[in-house]
Amino acid sequence: MPSCCFLVLALCAAQTLCVTIDSVPGVDGKGVILTELETTVSLVCRSGRSEDEGAELVWLRNGATVTLGEGNRKGQSGVCVMPVIHQDNGATFTCRLSANATVEASVTLNVTYPPMLSGSEAVRVEDDSPLVLDCETFANPPVSSVRWTLNGSALDLLAGGFSMTQDGFTSQLSADKAEKSKHEGLYRCIADSPVYGIKSRDFLVTVTEKTPKFPLIPLIAGAVVLCLSGLLAVVSRWKKIIKVMWYLQ
């Protein structure tokens, strides 16, 4: 991460009001700061003329006012983004004079991150049940390609009865009915990032025998009917039962 500060934007000539922003890391010529997740971005705003050193400064993030400490407003003001998170990507930070909102400077964060693909996952699916594998491919910049393999070979979508969808966030591989001979094995989702290279995740799929499904609701209904029938039988013969018990005594 660069240690030097970079002048983002000067809105003034020598004799006019202005504010400037210095940042670490630095920015490009378009006012964009390139950074990564879990890093720190430091922004310092200054009023441009010595006679304006006591001017009050205001910070905004995407148009919303940033709360500043009492000693962090006059002449020079700093904002620290720590740590940088996904939601900071595309965030615009603006510094302006409190007394004159037209005097301002802005920078925008471009947060890069790879697809979160690593490790392996064990997946068990019953025979004839749907098989669904989700591969998270969300990244900045977006991945350039996503492909799937099965047991080390390129996946044949047609032969396996697979369908694959990709929406920029997730690559999903699915089959309507799992079959042990076709679908059991080691699947690998492979994403190619133009910045971070190849990232992958494994799915070890085991197809098990179908578990018999008992008709639970009819069984419960039958048990309830049986209990009620027994209870009614006892009630209907209660007087006879009392007489027998009285006679036995």
Residues 108 and 146 in one domain: no
pLDDT of residue 15: 34
Q: Per-residue pLDDT for 16 more than 60?
A: no
Residues 71 and 106 in one domain: yes
Residues 104 and 125 in one domain: no
pLDDT of residue 3: 32
Q: Is 124 exposed, middle or buried (0-12, 13-18, 19+ CB in 10 A)?
A: exposed
CATH number of the domain that residue 177 is part of: 2.60.40.10
Residue 229 dihedral angles phi and psi, to the nearest 5°: -65, -40
The answer to whether position 171 is within a domain reads: yes
Residues 103 and 128 in one domain: no
Residues 82 and 130 in one domain: no
- How many Å apart are CA 238 and CA 142, to the nearest integer? 79
pLDDT of residue 211: 80
Helix (H) or strand (E) holding 148: strand 145-150
Q: Which domain holds residue 89?
A: 19-112
Q: Across residues 5-31, what is the average pLDDT?
A: 62
Residue that is written with structure tokens 């089959």 in the block: 175
The more confident residue out of 217 and 175 is 175
Q: Across residues 221-244, what is the average pLDDT?
A: 61
The answer to whether position 43 is within a domain reads: yes
Residues 24 and 108 in one domain: yes
Q: Which of 59, 84, 112 is the last residue of a domain?
A: 112
The answer to whether position 10 is within a domain reads: no
Q: Per-residue pLDDT for 239 more than 70?
A: no
The more confident residue out of 86 and 240 is 86
pLDDT of residue 78: 95
pTM of the model: 0.70
Residues 107 and 127 in one domain: no
Radius of gyration of the chain from its Cα atoms, rounded to whole angstroms: 34
Domain count, the chain: 2
Helix (H) or strand (E) holding 20: strand 19-24
Residues 150 and 87 in one domain: no
21 touches 44 (CB < 8 A)? yes
Tell me the per-residue pLDDT of 42-79, one tens digit each, with 9 for 90 and over: 999 988 755 556 689 999 999 999 999 988 988 899 99
The answer to whether position 126 is within a domain reads: yes
The more confident residue out of 235 and 13 is 235
Tell me the per-residue pLDDT of 176-226, one tens digit each, with 9 for 90 and over: 999 999 999 999 999 999 999 999 999 999 999 988 765 556 666 666 667
The answer to whether position 239 is within a domain reads: no
The answer to whether position 223 is within a domain reads: no
The answer to whether position 245 is within a domain reads: no
pLDDT of residue 55: 84
The answer to whether position 24 is within a domain reads: yes
- Give 11's pLDDT tier (boundaries 50, 70, 90): very low
Residues 130 and 202 in one domain: yes
Residues 79 and 146 in one domain: no
Q: Which of 112, 144, 171 is the last residue of a domain?
A: 112
Residues 126 and 174 in one domain: yes
Cα 158 to chain centroid, rounded? 31
Residues 27 and 70 in one domain: yes
